[in-house]
Structure 1
Amino acid sequence: MSTRLDGKVVLVTGASSGIGEAAALALSAEGARVAVGARRTDRLESLADKAPGEVLVLELDVTDQESVRSAVARTVERFGALDVLVNNAGVMLNGPVLGADTSEWTRMVETNLLGSMYTVHAALPHLLESKGTVLQISSTSGRIASANSGVYAATKFGITAFAESLRQEITAQGVRVVVVEPGFVATELMAHVKDPAMREMARKMAASMRTLQPEDIADAIVYAVTQPEHVAVNEILIRPTDQTR
């Protein structure tokens, strides 16, 4: 087993499926001790069974600040430190602005943007102590907004802006900030969309290209967090070869 992260402690949010699950497994395979957080703890237990290293399962709702603080505290209590935060939890509820269910907007802002901010806020004292890494999962939608994804894109633009401000605040103290911006990835994200037309559009998009797999993004995450301490990979944009924008 690789040991590039031997002894390091990682917290992954949104780890019950997709990129979060793949990242947790890949980081565990590199020797990290991994805390995995999500609402669906049954899936986290299955992940823990598959992981080669030690895994701590945490029930975590990133929209609840107390839940976030508890998850960080339990991670540090169990493993003694926190070296890497992978802020992955997110939802994508695309649809047109006209006639939108604005409760879905609230859910996206609270989960994608505020949730990642709350987690950084709770984890930062420990990351400063360990001179660790904050890794934010954004999206190509955090660079290029498109019709029917305005609020989702706004949350991802927000993640990128927050990350750059955070980087300027803490990089001189040895904490690296990384933003990973995946393109079209085969995950459950679109399963949450209620609009049949949006789901069909996503299905056609996926069928038109060789989509990325969660493991492709996990490889990028491992690359970023295993660089020498003096190297900060601040941004990784990763699209399917067939994706045009």
Structure 2
Amino acid sequence: MGATNLLARTTSVHGKVILITGAARGFGAGLARRFAAQGAKVALVGIEPDEMAKVAAECGPDAAVFEADVTDWAALETATKGIVERFGGIDIVVANAGIAATGFVRSIDPRAFERTIEVDLLGVWRTVRVTLPHVIERKGYVLVVSSLAAITHAPGMAAYAASKAGVEAFTNSLRAEVRHLGVKVGVAHPTWISTDLVQGADEHPVFGPLRSAMPGVLGKTYPVEVALDALEKGILRRDRTVHVPGWVGALKLIRAFLPPIIEIGARLRGNLVAKADKAALEDIARRGAEAASRPVGKGGQADAASR
């Protein structure tokens, strides 16, 4: 019975037009390859045209690259228009583009903090707003990629956690707004996945050691394929939530208790936050606030370079 229900919920993407932001690497590139193999027409949107061209080449003739920064209204509108002209419409939107700048609120470079929110939250809003009329026309599906950080608000991640929590709230409101129009909306909460972003975070001289000290599953890093399997399944089923892995969903049930647990845990582990706070100030004194707070990973580097 369970298998029958699962099959009944699964929707083929053959011939469907799927717009994916942040498609140069990681989740975006992986999903593009998977859905292209299933006969979908994939539109890769992002700020790294050369990298996206490599992905598109692997996806075949029904893949196209559209350069656009998700914080740029005009660029998004131009890209969306180009996608509709090329493929005839948009069935599915995967709002995946995101960056992460680590740092403590009192010392992080303000521009890095605000850029994280601009890309990760306002970029999602702009992507959805521009593409939504086309998704409504086809009674399609929108998946927004949030994070475990929306549920567990760790020190050194205020900008990222605020953005991803905002993304979750945005998605919940959107879902209720468009249901009567035949559009389904989902939100994904991946934990630490071995993408360029997480690898870059682990290389940070302050945040890397802080993350490595996270206890149990909260600090565990999972292979990219684990996330791609869950995201692919969620999109095919048009799920309202995608938890990567499943235990992330269980944390939602106790999220009210998580902030004090995180605070107590930090104190019990040798006042870890105080040590990291001091190390952050020393790192800034040595490298400067801009370098110390720069978004991590290749995607973050590309975003910094584009500006």
Length-normalised TM-score, structure 2? 0.71
Equivalent of residue 214 in structure 1, options 217, 224, 235: 224
What is the rounded CA distance, in whole Å, between the counterparts of 2:114 and 2:50 in structure 1?
A: 26
Mapping of 1:107-186 within 5 angstroms?
A: 107-186=115-194
Give the aligned length: 238
Which piece of structure 1 moves more, 128-137 or 182-191?
182-191
Distance 1:202 1:52 in 2: 39
Residue by residue, what CA displacement relative to the aligned partner does 1:10-58 show, whole Å, maximum 9, x if unpaired? 0000011111111111111221100001111111111012125611111
More helix by share: 2
CA contact (8 A) 2:117 2:163 kept: yes
Residue-by-residue CA offset, 1:137-181 (whole Å, 9 max, x unaligned): 000001121111111100000000000100010012110101010
Equivalence for 2:281 = none
* Cα offset, 1:215, TM superposition: 2.7
SS of the aligned residue for 2:206 comes to helix
Asked if residue 65 in structure 1 is aligned to residue 73 in structure 2, the reply is: yes
2:89 corresponding residue in structure 1? 81
Give the gaps of 5 or more residues in structure 1.
none
User: In the TM superposition, what are the counterparts of 1:85-96 in structure 2 within 5 Å?
Assistant: 85-96=93-104
1:226 is paired with a residue whose SS is helix
Equivalent-residue separation in structure 1 for 2:26 and 2:246 (angstroms): 16
Given that residues 121 and 164 in structure 2 are in contact (C-alpha distance below 8 angstroms), is that contact kept between their aligned partners in structure 1? yes
Query: Gaps (5+ residues) in structure 2?
Result: 1-10, 252-307
1:21 corresponds to? 29
In the alignment, the residues of structure 2 paired with residue 31 and residue 188 of structure 1 have an alpha-carbon distance, to the nearest angstrom, of 27
Please tell me whether Structure 1 or Structure 2 has the larger radius of gyration of its CA atoms: 2
Shift in CA distance, 60/194, structure 1 to aligned 2, threshold 3 Å: farther
TM-score norm. by structure 1 comes to: 0.89
Q: How many angstroms apart in 1 are the aligned matches of 2:220 and 2:202?
A: 22
User: What is the CA–CA distance in structure 1 between the aligned matches of 2:36 and 2:143, rounded to whole Å?
Assistant: 16
Aligned residue type for 1:36? L
Distance in 2 between residues matched to 1:53 and 1:169, nearest whole Å: 35
Instruction: Classify 1:215/1:72 alpha carbon distance in 2 versus 1 (closer, same or farther; 3 Å).
Output: farther
CA distance in 2, matches of 1:164, 1:55: 30
CA RMSD of aligned residues (A): 2.5
Alpha-carbon distance change, 49 to 106 in structure 1, aligned in 2, over 3 angstroms? same
Identify the residue that residue 35 of structure 1 maps to in structure 2. Answer: 43
Q: Which amino acid aligns with 2:51?
A: R
Letter in 2 for 1:212: Y
Local SS of the residue matching 2:143: strand
State which of 193, 196, 200 in structure 1 corresponds to 2:205.
196
Report if the CA contact (8 A) 2:36-2:60 is conserved: yes
Contact kept in structure 2, 1:15 and 1:36, CA below 8 Å: yes
Look up the SS of the partner of 2:106 in the other structure.
coil
In the alignment, which residue of structure 2 is the partner of 1:233?
Answer: 239
